[in-house]
Structure 1
Amino acid sequence: MFTVFRWLLRIFTGVVALAGLAMLGSYYFLSRSLPDYEEDFALPGLTAPVEVVRNNDNVPHIFGQSDRDVFFALGFVHAQDRLWQMTMLRRTAQGRLSEIFGTRTEKIDELLRRYDLYTLASQSVAVQDASTQEALTAYAEGVNAWIAQVNEGARGRGAPEFFLFSPEIAAWQPADSLAILKLMALQLSGKIGDEVLRARMSMLLPGARLADILPDDPGQPVATLPDYASIAPGARPALKSAGLATRDPLSPFLPRGFTGASNAWAAAPGRSAAGGSLLASDPHLGFTAPTLWYLARLELTTGGVIGGTLPGVPAVMVGRSDALGWGLTTAYLDDQDLMLEEVNPDNPEEYRTPDGWKRFETRKSILQVKDASPKTLVLRWTDNGPVLPGSHYDLDSVVPPGHVAALSWTALNGQDTSMTAAIRLMKAQTTAEAMAAGELMIAPAQNLMLADRNGIALQVIGRMPLRDARHETQGRMPAPGWKPENRWQGFLPYADNPRFTNPASGILGNTNNKTVDLPFPRHFSHDWGDTQRIQRWLTLMKTREVHTRESFIEAQLDTVSPTARTLLPLIGADLWFTGEAAPDGTPDRLRQEALELLAKWNGEMNEHLPEPLIYQAWMRALQDRLIRDEIGPMADGFTAIEPLFLERVYRNVDGAGLWCDVIQSAPVETCTDLARIALDEALLDLSERFGRQVESWRWGDVHQAAQDHPVLGEVAFVKWFVNIRQSTSGDDHTLMRGRTKGSGPNPWLNVHGAGYRGVYDFADPDSSVFITSTGQSGHPLSRHYDNLGERWRRGEYIPMTLDPALARAAAVGIMTLTPPEASE
C-alpha cells in the first residue's frame, strides 16, 4: 500500500512539475512579444533620427525632424503595442475574418464584402492631398518596420493571439488606414436599423401608437406617413423578434441604440474662471480590451498635438495642440436610405429604374472559410448602392417578393477625403481653420466641438444628402428605388451644415441631442441619440456663472439620471406611502421597502446604492409588460428603457394610456395596476438573484464595465486574464454614460461608454487632462494592459502635457529610431 502511495505521489508531483514547466514555457514565448521601450532601432525609411519618449503611463511622445518621420514612428509604436488589434480591424473591414474564425464569421464577412469598404478605401487613396498621402505612406512603412522586426527577431509573433491563429501578417498599406475609418463610419451609422424597425412596427400598429413607441424628439412635428404596407405591397408583417438578443463580439454591426453616442461641451473665455477657453470631450464606443483609443503626442512642424488616436490611423482624432482643442460626438445625420429595387421577373439580372430595366453591376468575390469550402459571393450594385442580403438587418421581413434592398449611404464613396480632413484638423491653429478642414469630411457625420484661445465653435462635419421634397417616406422607411422622387438628388453644400460660433451664452454643448429643427427635406435627422442627458447638462451649465476645468470634469462624471427623476414620480404617483405596513417576508412588504428607498433617492446612479438597480429593474419590467401583448416578439428589440414612450403612456399623451390595458385579458387594467405588478415582478427577480435584504443590493455588482477581449474573452480560463470588469456608476441616461446591454443573463452589464475622456483648459494648456478605460498596451501580460482602467473607473485623469521635460520625467522608456546609415 505504501508503495502505491509513493508512486501516486511521484506521478502527482511529475504532473505538477510538467504543468509548471508548461506555464513557464508559455509565459516565456508569450512575453517575447512584449516590446522593450528602451530598445533602439535602425530602420530603413526614416530620413533622420526620431526620439520616442514614453511617459510613466506609456503615452508615446514622438519627436522628429519632419512630419513624415513622426508618422513613421507613430505607425511603429502603434504596431508595437496594438498589432493584433490593428490586424483585426483590417480583416474586419476587408471581410476576411472567416479565414481564421471559420463559419462563425461568414455572415459578417458576407455583408462587409457587399459594402465593399476596402475597395472604396483603395480608390480613395489617390484623392487625398499630398501631405496626407505622405502621412499614410510613412505610417504604413512604420507599421511594416515593426512587422519586419517581429519576423526577424523572434519577438513572439508580435502578439500572443498570433500563436492561436495564422502568424502571417500582411504588409500594411495606406488603404488599410482608410478602410478602418470607413469601418468606424459603419459603427457610427444606424439609420438602416431605424428604417427597418419603423417599417415593421408600422405594419403592426396604427399611426398614433407608432408615434408612442417610436416618438420623435419632443418639439419636432411628427410627419404623417403612409402605412408601410401601402408602400411595399406584399411585404410580410414580422412576428419574429426585432434585433439580435446576442451579438458576436467580432461583429462591427451594432444593435439599435449602440451606433454612436458621446458628449462634448465648450466654454468661451468669458465664461471661464481663468479667462481661457475650456473644452470637454468623451466619445462613446463599445467597450473592448484593449480600448479602441490609444493616447499619443506628435511633434509636427505645425506644433505639438496630443490626444486619442485609433490604432491603424495616422491622426489624433480627439485632442489638443497649444492653440486648438477639438472633440467629437455622433451627429445622427440621416445619411442612409434603404431603397426597394424591383427585380425584372423575366430577367433576374435586371432591376427597374426611372428609365426602364437595367442590369445589376455584378462582381464575384471568393470568401475563404477556415476548415470549410470557399464560398463564392455575387456582389450586386444598383444606381442607389449595394444590394444587401435579406438575412441581415431583418430585411427579409420588409422587402416584398420580387424585390431586393439596396443602400444609399454617404460612406460608399470611392472619392472619400475624410482622412485629409482628419490630418488638416490636427494641424489647424484656429477654430476657423478647423471648420474649413471639416469640409473634406465625408463620413461618418460628426459634431465637431472646437475651442481655441479666443473662442468656441460647433461645426457639423460629414456630407449631407439632398432629398426630394416628394420622397414617399421622407427617408424614414425603405422606399421604391425606381421612383425619381425617392432617389438622392446629390448633396447639400457644406455651408448648409449646422454651425454655431461664439454664442452669446458663451457655452456650447452636445450629448447627441437634436441640434436643428428644420422641415423635410432639410431636416438633418428624424431620430436623435439623446433626449435625456441634455437636460442634466443644461442644469449643470446654468448653475455656474463661470466654469473651470474642475466643473467640466464634474459634469463629465455626473451620474444623476434626469430620466429617473422624471419617471419615478410619474409612474409611482399612486403607489407611494399607501396602506398599512405589511407583514415581514411578504411581497407587499418588499414593495413598501423598495418604494421607501426610491422616495428618498435623488436619482444618482451610484454603483454602491440599491436604488438604481430597483429603478432599472422596475422600468424594464414595466416597459416589457406595456408593449409585449401589442407587438409580441417584436418587444425583444426594445432592450433599453424608452423614456419618451413611458412618459407618453403615463401622461396619456394622445391617448397613449391605452398601452396599459392588457388586450389579451378581460379586465381593463389601469396604468397604476401595471406599475404595481411590474414592480412586484422586478423585486421578485432581484430577491431571487441577490437575497431579500434590499439594502444590500448594489447597482455596481451588475453594472460592470465589460471590457472584454473580442477574441479570447469567451475562452474558458483565459478570459480571467484578458477581460477587464469594473463596477461602475451611471446608466444609459446619465452624462457619465454606461449603456446597459439589455439582454442576456445580466441585462445591466455596462457595454458602451466613454473609452476616452479629455478636458482641455486654454488658460493653462498643460493642466489639461485625459484618460482611457483600459491601458496603452494590447498585450495581456503588460502592466500597461489595464493600468489606466482603475483610474478611469474612479473618475481620475492623467496629465495631457506638451512639455518635453515633463514627458521625460519618470519615463518608462526612451527609444531612438534612426536611419540605417546614421547608426553605422
Structure 2
Amino acid sequence: MIVKWILSILTVLGILLSAFAYKIYSEIQPILEGEIGVKNLNSVVRIIRDIYAIPHIYAVNDHDLLFAQGYVTAQDRLWQMDLSRRIATGRLSEIFGERTVEVDYFFRSLEIEQIAEKIYANFDQKSKEELAAYASGANAYINSGKKTIESVILRYDIEPWRPIDSISIHLLSAFDLSINMDEEIFALKALRKLGDDMAKELFPRYPQGGNTIINKVNELNLDLNLPRGYKMAKERFGFFQAKGASNNWVIDGVKSESGKPMLANDPHLRIQIPSVWHELHLNAPGINVIGATFPGSPYVLIGHNRNVAWGFTDAMADRVDLYIERINPEDPYEYWYRDKWERMRTQNAEIKVKDGGGFRTITREIKYTKHGPVISSSDIDVKGVLSMKWTGSVVEDQSIKGLSILNRAKNVEEAKETRKYARIYTLNMVYADVDGNIGYQLIGGIPVRGKVTGVFTDSLEGKIPVPGWSGQYEWKGFIPDGELPNLSNPLTHFIATANNKITDDSFTYLISNTWAPPYRYERIVSLLEQKEKLSLQDFKQMQADIYSIPAQKFVKEIMEVKPNDPGVKWALKELTGWNYEVTSGSLPALLYEVTRSNLIRNTFGDELRELYPEFLYTLNFNYNIMDKIMDEPSSLWWDDINTAMKETRDQIIIKSVEDALREIRDKLGSHRENWRWGQLHKYRFTHPLGRVKFLDKLFNPKPISAPGDRDTINNSYFGYKRHYYSDGETYDATVIPSYRFIVDLSDIDNALAMNSTGQWGNPLSRQYSNVIQGWADVEYHPLYFDESDIEKNKWKELRLSPE
C-alpha cells in the first residue's frame, strides 16, 4: 500500500514537472513556421531559415526589412541583446545583485547612454527611422510574451528595445577594443619602478634624458590602480581581451584562379557563447546583403551584397588618453587647468541592485574633469587624480548611416564612403567589387594630439598619462577623412592586414604606439606570395594555418644553450625536428609554449614583481619585448635580481625548460608519450550564467582541444595566466577567430562562412552549439544568396503580416 502511495506521488510529481518544463519550453521557444500578425508592419515579410538556421528576410520596403531583422534577432539572441545593453548602460546589478555594482559604476562613468542619446539626436531622419523600425521589430517579439531561459532563471522581464540601445551596444563594442588605458597605467608604473636603463629596453621609444613626468607623478601621490569595475568587467565578463588579433586579406583577379577578386576575413574576439556574431540575409528593393552582425545592430557588418564584399580588422589606433590632474589641496572638487582652478562636474549614479525579492539603490558619486571621468581615487591625502578621455565621448558618429551605405554599395567607391560616417571604431577595411577592384581604407575617428602630432622616436605620447593641467596635450580634432591611409588596386595584386603597423613614421599623424607583433601579417603575406594564383581552397588553408614564425626564431635561439640536465637535453632534441606547426596533437608545440611561458616569468617576474600580472596583459605589445631580447645576451633583464650571482641568458633559458618540464609533469603526468599541446590548450565556451554550479551543465559545451597560439593565423590567444571569466586554466584560449568569411566574387552566390558556436542563444536548442566542432576543424557552410538555392535548402519559413 505504501509503495503504491509513493509511486502515485512520484507519478503526480513527474507529471507536474513535465508540465512545468513544457510551459517553460513553450515560453522560450520561438515560432519559426506559419504566419504571425504583428503591429507596425506595412506589408508581408517572408523569413526563410535555411538548414543552418540562418534567416533570409524578404521585404518590400526598408522599414519592414529592418523590423523583421529586429524580430528575428530577438528570436535568436534576445538575452544577449539585453545583457549587452545592461553592460553598456551600467544596469547589471538589477539582475545579478551587488556583485556587479563596481562594473555598473564604471560603465555609468562612461555615460554611454547619454552619448547614445546625443548621437541619435544628430542622426538624419532616415537613420532614426531605420533604428526605430529595428526596435519596433524587436519589441514585437518581446511583447509576444516570449521569454529567454536566462530571464526565467534570473526572474525578470526584458524591457522594450529602444533605438538608442543599438547605438549603445556599438559604443560598448568600440570601447571594448580600446585597450590603451591598461597600457598607459602599466607604462607609468613601470617607469617609476625600473629607472632609466631598464625602461629603455622595455619602451623602445624612451626619450633621451629620462621622463620628467615621473617626478611630477610622485609629487602628486597618484593612485595608479585600474578602476575596480574595469578590472571586474575584464576578469568576469571577458571584456578588453582582444589584444589586436584579426586577419583580413584581398586579392585581385590577376592573383586569383577565377579571374575575379577574392576576400577573406576572420575577426579575433573573446571566446564566448552565444557567439559575438549573428548571421542573416537582408533582401528588399535596393538592398540584398548577407553576412554577420552584432545582435542588437541593424544591417550587416561583415559580408557582401550583389556587387561588393568587405571585411574588417582592428586598426589598433590610440583612442584613449589618460590625464594627470592636479587637485586643489583646499577643495577636492577643483583641479588646475592652464592658469586657474576649474570645478569638476559631478553626477550621482543611482544603481538599482537586486536584493532578495526586491531592490535597493546604491548611490555613488562620479567626478568629471574637462577630459572625462575621474578613474582613480581622490581621497583626502591624494594631490592628483587620473581622468580618461575616449574618442567615443567626443566624436560625431553616424555608424548606422555608414552601414546603410556600405550594405547598399554598388562599387568600391561607394563602399569607401563609410569612412565619413563610422567614427567610434577605428578599423582596417578591405574591400573588392565584381568589376575587379580591390582596396584598403582606414576608417574611424583618430585624435590629432596637441603637443606631438606626429611620430617621433623620442616621444612617449600616447604611451603614458600626460599632464592635464598644461593644456599642451589637448586633442585638436580628428585626422581628416581625406588623409586617412588608403590603397586601391596595388601592383602587388593583394592587400592584407593583421593589426600590424599601418604606416611608417613619416606619416603626418600619430595613429598609435601599440601594434600587434608582425608575425601573422608576415605569414599571410608569405602565403599570398608563394603562388602566382590562389584558389578558394588556398584561402581555406590560410585561415586554418598554424605555422608559428616566432617559434622558429625561438627554437633557433635556445638551441645555442649547453645543458647538463638530461630532461632539458631531451626537450631540445624533441624541438630540433619540429616543423613549427602548433597543432593540438603536437609534443614540440607543448614544449615550446610552456617553455616560453616560464621564460617570460623567469625573465621579467623578478624585476617587475607586483607589476608582472599587468605586464602579462600588455605582453602582446611593444613589439613583444621577449622576442626583442632573445638575441640580446647582454640585456639587463636576464639577471635574476633575487640571487647573489649574475645569471646569463643561457642559464635563464635552461631554468625555464626545467620549470616547463616540471609544470607539464604536474599537469599531465610523467608519461611523456601522452604529452600534447591540446591537453593544456582548450576552447572553453562559457556562458555568463555558466560559471554557476549546476548551470554550467546547461550552458557550457564541453571543452575541446585547440590548435595554434597568439602568433598563428588560426589564432587562439592565451594570456599566460589563469583567466577567471571562463573558468579556464593558464593556457586556455581567451581570444579566437570569432567568425570566418571567404568570398570569390566570380561566384558571389556561394560565399563561405562559419560562426564559432551556433546561430541561437537558447541552450535547449541544437543550434546553440552545433557548429563548434566544425568551426574548430575550420570547416565552412555556404552563405546561400541566390533565391533558388535558399528554397532548395529551406528548413523553416515564417511570414510576418500586418495586424
Q: TM-score, normalised by structure 1?
A: 0.90
Corresponding position: 1:791 with 2:769:
no
2:601 paired residue among 613, 619, 624? 624
Q: For 2:715 and 2:151, locate their aligned partners in 1 and report how far apart those are by CA, in whole Å.
A: 34
What corresponds to 1:464 in structure 2?
A: 446
Listed as ranges, the matches of 1:198-597 within 5 Å are: 198-215=187-204, 226-234=211-219, 254=239, 258-371=242-355, 373-390=360-377, 401-413=382-394, 415-453=396-434, 454-470=436-452, 473-518=460-505, 522-575=509-562, 588-597=565-574
What are the Cα deviations for residues 566-604 of structure 1, in whole angstroms up to 9, with x where unaligned?
1111123224xx66xxxxxxxx44333322221111111
Corresponding position: 1:646 with 2:626:
yes
Instruction: Report the 3-state secondary structure (helix = DSSP H, G, I; strand = E; otherwise coil) of the residue aligned with 1:816.
Output: strand
1:42 paired residue among 37, 44, 64? 37
Instruction: Report the 3-state secondary structure (helix = DSSP H, G, I; strand = E; otherwise coil) of the residue aligned with 2:211.
Output: coil
The amino acid that maps onto 2:349 is S
Instruction: Report the 3-state secondary structure (helix = DSSP H, G, I; strand = E; otherwise coil) of the residue aligned with 1:348.
Output: strand
Q: For 2:527 and 2:8, locate their aligned partners in 1 and report how far apart those are by CA, in whole Å.
A: 64
Note the C-alpha offset of 1:400: 9.4
Note the C-alpha offset of 1:246: 8.3
1:813 paired residue among 793, 796, 799? 796
Cα contact 1:73–1:142 (8 A) shared by 2: yes
Q: For 1:27 and 1:144, locate their aligned partners in 2 and report how far apart those are by CA, in whole Å.
A: 24
What corresponds to 2:751 in structure 1?
A: 768
Instruction: Report the 3-state secondary structure (helix = DSSP H, G, I; strand = E; otherwise coil) of the residue aligned with 2:449.
Output: coil
The amino acid that maps onto 1:119 is Q
Q: For 1:242 and 1:379, locate their aligned partners in 2 and report how far apart those are by CA, in whole Å.
A: 12
Corresponding position: 1:78 with 2:60:
no
Note the C-alpha offset of 1:11: 6.2
Change in Cα spacing, 1:765 to 1:298, as seen in structure 2 (3 Å) is: same
Change in Cα spacing, 1:671 to 1:51, as seen in structure 2 (3 Å) is: same
What are the Cα deviations for residues 753-802 of structure 1, in whole angstroms up to 9, with x where unaligned?
11110001101112310110011110001111111222111111111221
What are the Cα deviations for residues 139-191 of structure 1, in whole angstroms up to 9, with x where unaligned?
000000001112xxxx4xx2111112243221111000000000001111111
1:708 paired residue among 674, 686, 692? 686
Q: For 2:5 and 2:207, locate their aligned partners in 1 and report how far apart those are by CA, in whole Å.
A: 79
1:178 paired residue among 167, 173, 177? 167
What corresponds to 2:456 in structure 1?
A: none
Instruction: Report the 3-state secondary structure (helix = DSSP H, G, I; strand = E; otherwise coil) of the residue aligned with 1:341.
Output: strand
Cα contact 1:202–1:228 (8 A) shared by 2: no
Corresponding position: 1:612 with 2:589:
yes
Corresponding position: 1:676 with 2:654:
yes
Q: For 1:374 and 1:616, locate their aligned partners in 2 and report how far apart those are by CA, in whole Å.
A: 48
1:159 paired residue among 148, 154, 169? 148
Q: For 1:88 and 1:808, locate their aligned partners in 2 and report how far apart those are by CA, in whole Å.
A: 34
Cα contact 1:228–1:477 (8 A) shared by 2: no
> Which stretches in structure 1 are left out of the alignment for 5+ residues?
580-587
1:688 paired residue among 649, 666, 691? 666
Cα contact 2:314–2:428 (8 A) shared by 1: yes
Note the C-alpha offset of 1:22: 3.4
Change in Cα spacing, 1:749 to 1:17, as seen in structure 2 (3 Å) is: farther
What are the Cα deviations for residues 786-824 of structure 1, in whole angstroms up to 9, with x where unaligned?
11222111111111221112112232210101111xxxx
Note the C-alpha offset of 1:559: 0.6
Cα contact 1:108–1:251 (8 A) shared by 2: no
Q: For 1:129 and 1:687, locate their aligned partners in 2 and report how far apart those are by CA, in whole Å.
A: 63
> Which stretches in structure 2 are left out of the alignment for 5+ residues?
454-458, 723-727
Instruction: Report the 3-state secondary structure (helix = DSSP H, G, I; strand = E; otherwise coil) of the residue aligned with 2:794.
Output: coil
Q: For 1:520 and 1:12, locate their aligned partners in 2 and report how far apart those are by CA, in whole Å.
A: 81
2:700 paired residue among 723, 733, 744? 723
The amino acid that maps onto 2:366 is L
Instruction: Report the 3-state secondary structure (helix = DSSP H, G, I; strand = E; otherwise coil) of the residue aligned with 1:340.
Output: strand
What corresponds to 2:729 in structure 1?
A: 746
Note the C-alpha offset of 1:403: 1.8
Corresponding position: 1:117 with 2:100:
no
What are the Cα deviations for residues 202-245 of structure 1, in whole angstroms up to 9, with x where unaligned?
111234422433557xxxx9787615422423255999999999
Q: For 2:142 and 2:223, locate their aligned partners in 1 and report how far apart those are by CA, in whole Å.
A: 49
**Alignment size in residue pairs:** 785
Note the C-alpha offset of 1:197: 0.8
The amino acid that maps onto 2:615 is F
Cα contact 1:73–1:139 (8 A) shared by 2: yes
Q: For 1:183 and 1:223, locate their aligned partners in 2 and report how far apart those are by CA, in whole Å.
A: 38
Note the C-alpha offset of 1:13: 10
Change in Cα spacing, 1:23 to 1:342, as seen in structure 2 (3 Å) is: farther
Note the C-alpha offset of 1:560: 0.8
Note the C-alpha offset of 1:303: 3.2
What are the Cα deviations for residues 594-633 of structure 1, in whole angstroms up to 9, with x where unaligned?
2222111111110112222211111111110111111112
Note the C-alpha offset of 1:325: 0.7
Q: Over aligned residue pairs, what C-alpha RMSD do you find?
A: 2.8
Instruction: Report the 3-state secondary structure (helix = DSSP H, G, I; strand = E; otherwise coil) of the residue aligned with 1:209.
Output: helix
Note the C-alpha offset of 1:404: 2.0
The amino acid that maps onto 1:746 is E
What corresponds to 2:725 in structure 1?
A: none
State the percentage of identical aligned residues.
29
Change in Cα spacing, 1:234 to 1:355, as seen in structure 2 (3 Å) is: closer
Q: For 1:695 and 1:535, locate their aligned partners in 2 and report how far apart those are by CA, in whole Å.
A: 33
Q: For 1:669 and 1:12, locate their aligned partners in 2 and report how far apart those are by CA, in whole Å.
A: 75
Note the C-alpha offset of 1:650: 2.5
Change in Cα spacing, 1:251 to 1:424, as seen in structure 2 (3 Å) is: farther
The amino acid that maps onto 1:495 is G
Change in Cα spacing, 1:12 to 1:496, as seen in structure 2 (3 Å) is: farther
Note the C-alpha offset of 1:693: 2.0
Change in Cα spacing, 1:425 to 1:237, as seen in structure 2 (3 Å) is: same
What are the Cα deviations for residues 657-680 of structure 1, in whole angstroms up to 9, with x where unaligned?
x22221221222221111111111
The amino acid that maps onto 2:33 is E
Q: Which moved more, 1:680-689 or 1:236-245?
A: 236-245
Note the C-alpha offset of 1:343: 2.2
Change in Cα spacing, 1:589 to 1:236, as seen in structure 2 (3 Å) is: farther
Q: For 1:478 and 1:98, locate their aligned partners in 2 and report how far apart those are by CA, in whole Å.
A: 31
The amino acid that maps onto 1:673 is Q
Change in Cα spacing, 1:355 to 1:489, as seen in structure 2 (3 Å) is: farther
Note the C-alpha offset of 1:553: 1.5
Note the C-alpha offset of 1:131: 2.5
Instruction: Report the 3-state secondary structure (helix = DSSP H, G, I; strand = E; otherwise coil) of the residue aligned with 2:296.
Output: coil
Q: For 2:591 and 2:13, locate their aligned partners in 1 and report how far apart those are by CA, in whole Å.
A: 50
Q: TM-score, normalised by structure 2?
A: 0.92
Corresponding position: 1:148 with 2:148:
no
What corresponds to 1:582 in structure 2?
A: none
Cα contact 2:256–2:535 (8 A) shared by 1: yes
2:711 paired residue among 725, 729, 733? 733
Q: For 2:608 and 2:7, locate their aligned partners in 1 and report how far apart those are by CA, in whole Å.
A: 60
Change in Cα spacing, 1:762 to 1:520, as seen in structure 2 (3 Å) is: closer
Instruction: Report the 3-state secondary structure (helix = DSSP H, G, I; strand = E; otherwise coil) of the residue aligned with 2:742.
Output: strand
